[in-house]
């Protein structure tokens, strides 16, 4: 029975891979932000609608520096999309340094999943993979940052419960 489960699991996860790339987004806290991307290789098209950070979009500025309305809107910040359409979720992170004891400290900058694939547990798989790859030593600190959604707070609580030997923290803003 166990062999059958392993075979079925390998078939189901055959078209899924995790990729490590540099994050195209700019963050104020760090410049060395990396991205752990969840990629389903059978997905070959970007979403048809504008989905933040998956399809690139140009922000338009309608007001000047002093607050006056502009006659013609000008181009503002450009938010890049993902580098590969197979990426349906990502986790941006960076290393904050080490503690006094020499344990690594990690900061999770942003977690996002495409709107058409939400509710599939992809964010949970990303966090699990992050912990499997980087949070290996007891005493490691992981900061989930400003958590703007209850779902991310649930992920933080799940990982704190699953790894009591680690320091898992985050600021609730929901």
pLDDT digits (tens, 9 = 90+) for 110-166: 999 988 888 889 999 999 999 999 998 888 999 999 999 899 999 999 999 999 999
Measured between alpha carbons, how far is 113 from 93 in angstroms, rounded to an integer? Answer: 15
Q: State the pLDDT confidence band at 12, using cuts at 50, 70 and 90.
A: low
Burial 35-50 (b: 16+ CB within 10 A, else e): bbbbbbeebeebbeee
Distances in whole angstroms, Cα of residue 73 to Cα of each of 8, 60, 61, 64, 78: 54, 6, 6, 9, 14
Segment (H or E) for 150: helix 150-162
pTM exceeds 0.95 for this model: no
pLDDT (mean) for 90-109:
91
Would you state the pLDDT for residue 48? 74
Query: Which domains, and CATH codes, for the chain?
Result: 15-40+88-172 (3.40.630.30)
What is the average pLDDT value for the chain, to the nearest integer?
86
pLDDT in tens, 72-96: 999 998 888 887 888 899 999 999 9
Least confident stretch, 6-10, 16-20, 31-35, 142-146: 6-10
pLDDT of 1 higher than 80: no
| Residue ranges with strand state E in 23-79 | 34-40, 57-63, 69-79
Confidence at residue 47, expressed as pLDDT on a 0 to 100 scale: 73
Of the chain, the percentage scoring pLDDT greater than 70 comes to 92
| Nearest alpha-carbon partner for 161 in 153, 151, 172 | 153
Q: Quick one: pLDDT at residue 85?
A: 82
Phi/psi for 151 (5° steps) reads: -60, -40
Higher pLDDT residue, 42 or 110? 110
Mean pLDDT of the region 12-22: 79
């Amino acid at each position: 029975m166990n062999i059958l489960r392993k075979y079925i699991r390998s078939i189901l996860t055959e078209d899924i891979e995790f990729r490590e790339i540099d994050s195209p987004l700019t963050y104020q806290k760090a410049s060395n932000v990396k991205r752990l991307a969840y990629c389903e290789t059978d997905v070959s098209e970007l979403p048809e609608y504008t989905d933040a950070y998956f399809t690139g979009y140009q922000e338009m500025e309608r007001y000047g520096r002093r607050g006056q309305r502009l006659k013609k809107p000008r181009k503002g910040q450009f938010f890049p999309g993902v580098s590969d359409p197979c990426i349906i979720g990502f986790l941006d992170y960076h290393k904050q340094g080490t503690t006094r004891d020499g344990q690594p400290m990690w900061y999770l900058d942003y977690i996002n999943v495409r709107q058409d694939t939400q509710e599939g547990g992809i964010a949970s798989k990303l966090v699990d993979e992050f912990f499997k790859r980087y949070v290996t030593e007891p005493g490691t600190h992981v900061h989930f940052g400003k958590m703007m959604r209850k779902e991310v707070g649930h992920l933080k609580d799940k990982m704190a419960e699953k790894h009591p030997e680690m320091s898992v923290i985050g600021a609730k803003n929901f």
